Structure 1
Amino acid sequence: MLTFILFLLPLISGVFLLWNKSTGLAKTVTVLVSLVQLALFIYMVSVFRQDAAALDYSWNWISDFRVGFHLGVDGLSLLMTGLAVVISGLILLATKDLNYDNISRFLGLILVTEAALIGVFTAKDAFLFYFFFEMALVPVYLMANLWGGRGISRITLKMFIYTVLGSLLMLVAFVVLYLFAQTSDLAELAKVPAGLRPGLNHLLFWGLLIAFAIKSPLFPFHGWLPDAYSKSPTPATMLLSGLLSKMGIYGILRILVPLSPAGITDFSGLVIYFAVVGLIYGSVIAIQQFHIKRLIAYSSFAHIGLMAAAALTLSPSGIQGSVFQMVAHGFSAVGLFYVAKIIHDKTGSRSLVDLGGMALRAPRLAVLFLIVLLGSVGLPLTNGFVGEFLMLRAVFDYQHILGIIAISSIILAAVYLLRLYQKTMFGPATPFTENIRDIGLNELVVLVPIAIVIIITGVFPNCLLDLSSYLADTLPLIK
């Protein structure tokens, strides 16, 4: 029941804020819901360690067709649910004082997105998973379309078409499996592929994979990403990079591997190659960027490629590394995009050509920006190092040459991220930066928790690794 309450609270609150017109009430509801969600999740962690079954919630949704509203958690879904709760709370705090028109409606859309994400990460029914998988995109599409930059309608339409078409392939795969199992329960669907012909198994694999590859996105299905990330309002970009992109990697582990074992055996190597190509390609393109949000967008794209490659090695280090990095990247990506917004608000520019010399005038921003950036680079004692070490080890063990190519991404990441820091924080001040002021309490409330998480989970990684170890020990086809 606790899982259902965790899902229901942001959904009801979000729907209420969509109709509310009081800005003060919207801000109060936002803070209260974020705190209650965090407290409820902490309590769920304590219950999970004692009796995980107590967190299951099941209701006969469409009983005649054996389609259930079934929510539950294991180590993986608990980690991802926690990520959704904490990151959504930080995004709400970062958004509530912005000067957007209809701020209550904007905050309501964020809460509805959080509810959909919790649904994705806890769904135990295939059609329920599909429903939430699609539902999560709708409020982000509305945020981008209504509050985005110039030309955003064309960009969001492209993103919507990409993701909806991919999801339709996933729906077809689910329908095929349902026709054999006569139920949409994921545990029952996992028994079907063993009795199917190889050709049908392969079609199921590609249908599911393309859906998850577009959502992440993975190379070469990333065409919607640069414009969507750079033109969307920053809270929507934070949701896309910090949370929605993780649905694809989660889907690979939760859905693709158990429901298409033959496809994994035959084609995972090909997908790993493409993922590593995307890793290097995204890193090289990021080096060439002068627009801050586009640079961070390509950085996020590169990180997602490594997560997918490591997960599909199906090694314990690869699975745990990708799960750990989903959490680590969620915090670092949100932190980087929030810093990009702060810089734009204070200077009026997102171009590295216009910036410089901010460290002396905004030392608090410089310190927190450096912590977030080093976490993304993967400096030892940050959470980015733990995830990248495990993932690169997995790819290297899978194939040495491919691993060496992947390891080169560390150097490329250091180049484009340290260049970003040098161009913004150091050097002579420009007309855009000479009169800026340092960040205040509103920004510190968001950036300080992100910095603390980056350091604590980097120094004490077992607090996250222990939760994902069960998955790494029991996932089918483990190598």
Structure 2
Amino acid sequence: MITALLLFWPALAALLVLLIKGQGAKKVAFIAALVEFALALFATSQFDSTDGAMQLSLNMPWVESAGISFSIGMDGISLLMVLLTTFLVPLIILSAFKHDYKNPHIFYALVLFMQTGLIGVFVSLDAFLFYFFWEVALIPIYFIAAIWGGENRIKVTFKFFVYTIFGSLFMLAAFVYLYFQTGATGASAHSSDVQAFYQLALDSDTQSWVFWFLFIAFAIKMPVFPFHTWQPDTYTESPAQATMLLSGIMLKMGIYGVLRWLLPVVPMGVSQWDELVLVLSIIGIVYASIIAIRQRDLKRLIAYSSIAHVGLIAAGIFTLNEQGLQGGIIQMLSHGINVTGLFFIIDIIQRQTNTREISSLGGITQNAKGLSIFFMILLMGSIALPLTNGFIGEFLLLMGVYQYNAWFGAVAGLTIILGAVYMLRMFQGVMFGNKSEHTEAFRDLSASELAVLIPLVIMVFWIGLFPNTFLSISEPAVNNLLSIIKR
């Protein structure tokens, strides 16, 4: 029941927010998001972290004659994604308080509707229910970006929408095919339950093409090279809160889809193509890092850095060893925290200076020592400094990739060097040196901005210093996943 409440509470709150005109909408949305986080913490207290099976489940007929059910539940992987979502959404809502968005009740209602779609993806145990929430999550972010985005928002958002729908159709085709392979003859014997998909005995040729249908859908959402071209423009043109939702949470849908619906359903297809996926992922790491070094727009730089980080996560996951999978999961948490904080800091800078050009900034640290400290901590987490969250994930991921192939591990390790280059150069150009006309009157952090950044920085050090808090939750589910893949 708690899982159903987690799923539907944001949608109910969104309907309430729609009825509230003016600035009161944001306060109600923030309180509703905090309630959702409290529900997630309660669910965690009821969760048995030693059990890798699905827990807190609910299974009800949806389209009973077709064998489609409203089946939801969580294992350790799902729970961590739910915790990430419910932790970040109230902070993202709070980060918008300094913005005077037109029709705020619609804006904040869309954020909450999107949260329902995100939670639905992470708890769905039926293929068509998963697909339903996959599409539900897309609709609110499309309107947020298209209505409150930048000058080129319509063209860029349309490109993002087309890419995602294109991938979704591949996923739907694969799910329909898999559905008809389950059960005996007759539609009533078929099932779209995830366990029914896991039990399919498909030949290697079938698994090969099903792999590509599912992989393309998930690779676009992550995104993995060469399916990434929608991402930098979308991140740049979207309003800050949409960018945080996209980078901090929504791209995790693609990675989660790989873990839940790709690896265990078509393991022979994965074994045929895992090396190619690792090559594409590693190309993406190096390519995106080099492009990031050349960027002069703060948002585009972080957008390309995100592609590099996701490339390493994808590479680690497709090694199919425990270190790679555990590293990928904890790095999803770390990346979500770090990238949300970095985009928020860029939003603060842009709001006060009306520019994101590195060459037009400088000297901010002279007026904003508090911002400088938070910026540096999040940056160090992003470049995997020991004792920060990024170090744990990248260490496990590189260990996993190295075990798969030492040369792959060596090239993937360039992400640490290249990441340090573009992130530290960015920090130096923005925060140090002489003040510019844009930064002369820069102000330090306000109370609401501190309220966003302090929880993020706490998590940077919590994951970095006490990673077993989170690794112990996902470990039984990872071992269960590996047993399914290698059966």
> 1:478 Cα shift?
5.2
Secondary structure at the counterpart of residue 233 of structure 2: helix
Which amino acid in structure 1 is aligned with residue 132 of structure 2? F
Partner of 1:23: 23
> 1:18 Cα shift?
3.2
Q: Deviations over 1:265-285 (max 9, x none)?
A: 101111111001001111110
Partner of 1:127: 128
Alignment of 1:289-368 (within 5 A): 289-368=295-374
Alignment of 1:226-241 (within 5 A): 226-241=232-247
| Alpha-carbon separation, structure 1, partners of 2:54 and 2:237 | 43
Which amino acid in structure 1 is aligned with residue 105 of structure 2? S
User: Contact conserved, 1:375 with 1:385, CA < 8 A, in 2?
Assistant: yes
Which of the residues 406, 410, 419 maps onto 1:404?
410
Partner of 1:7: 7
Which of the residues 196, 199, 222 maps onto 1:191?
199
User: Contact conserved, 1:315 with 1:478, CA < 8 A, in 2?
Assistant: no
Partner of 1:451: 457
Partner of 2:141: 140
Label 1:190 to 1:376 Cα distance change in 2 as closer, same or farther (>3 A): same
Secondary structure at the counterpart of residue 102 of structure 2: coil
Identity among equivalent pairs (%): 44
Q: Deviations over 1:67-98 (max 9, x none)?
A: 11111000000000000101111111111342
User: Contact conserved, 1:472 with 1:478, CA < 8 A, in 2?
Assistant: no
User: Contact conserved, 1:145 with 1:152, CA < 8 A, in 2?
Assistant: yes
Q: How many residues align?
A: 476
Partner of 2:60: 59
| Alpha-carbon separation, structure 1, partners of 2:140 and 2:54 | 31
Secondary structure at the counterpart of residue 46 of structure 2: helix
| Alpha-carbon separation, structure 2, partners of 1:85 and 1:3 | 13
Secondary structure at the counterpart of residue 49 of structure 1: coil
Which amino acid in structure 1 is aligned with residue 485 of structure 2? L
Q: Deviations over 1:375-398 (max 9, x none)?
A: 001000001000000001111111
Which amino acid in structure 2 is aligned with residue 156 of structure 1? T
> 1:54 Cα shift?
5.8
| Alpha-carbon separation, structure 2, partners of 1:326 and 1:119 | 18
Which amino acid in structure 1 is aligned with residue 180 of structure 2? L
Alignment of 1:147-158 (within 5 A): 147-158=148-159
Partner of 2:187: none
Deviates more, 1:47-56 or 1:359-368: 47-56
Which of the residues 350, 373, 384 maps onto 2:390?
384
User: Contact conserved, 2:54 with 2:75, CA < 8 A, in 1?
Assistant: no
> 1:17 Cα shift?
2.2
| Alpha-carbon separation, structure 1, partners of 2:373 and 2:246 | 25
User: Contact conserved, 1:20 with 1:105, CA < 8 A, in 2?
Assistant: no
> 1:59 Cα shift?
1.4
> 1:312 Cα shift?
0.5
Which amino acid in structure 1 is aligned with residue 175 of structure 2? F
Deviates more, 1:73-82 or 1:45-54: 45-54
Which runs of 5 or more residues in structure 1 are unaligned? none
Which amino acid in structure 2 is aligned with residue 354 of structure 1? S
Which of the residues 471, 474, 481 maps onto 1:468?
474
| Alpha-carbon separation, structure 2, partners of 1:454 and 1:137 | 28
User: Contact conserved, 1:314 with 1:478, CA < 8 A, in 2?
Assistant: no
Q: TM-score, normalised by structure 1?
A: 0.97
Q: Deviations over 1:169-202 (max 9, x none)?
A: 000000001111111001111111x2x2322211
Which amino acid in structure 1 is aligned with residue 362 of structure 2? G
Which of the residues 443, 468, 478 maps onto 1:437?
443
Which amino acid in structure 1 is aligned with residue 20 of structure 2? N
Partner of 1:34: 33
Partner of 2:44: 45
User: Contact conserved, 2:3 with 2:57, CA < 8 A, in 1?
Assistant: yes
User: Contact conserved, 1:149 with 1:231, CA < 8 A, in 2?
Assistant: yes
| Alpha-carbon separation, structure 1, partners of 2:13 and 2:256 | 26
Label 1:258 to 1:103 Cα distance change in 2 as closer, same or farther (>3 A): same
| Alpha-carbon separation, structure 2, partners of 1:286 and 1:438 | 27
| Alpha-carbon separation, structure 2, partners of 1:38 and 1:146 | 27
| Alpha-carbon separation, structure 1, partners of 2:252 and 2:449 | 25
Secondary structure at the counterpart of residue 100 of structure 2: coil
Which amino acid in structure 2 is aligned with residue 31 of structure 1? F
Secondary structure at the counterpart of residue 48 of structure 1: coil
Q: TM-score, normalised by structure 2?
A: 0.96
| Alpha-carbon separation, structure 1, partners of 2:175 and 2:120 | 17
Does residue 163 of the first structure (1) align with residue 171 of the second (2)?
A: no
> 1:132 Cα shift?
0.7
Which amino acid in structure 1 is aligned with residue 160 of structure 2? M
Which amino acid in structure 1 is aligned with residue 21 of structure 2? K
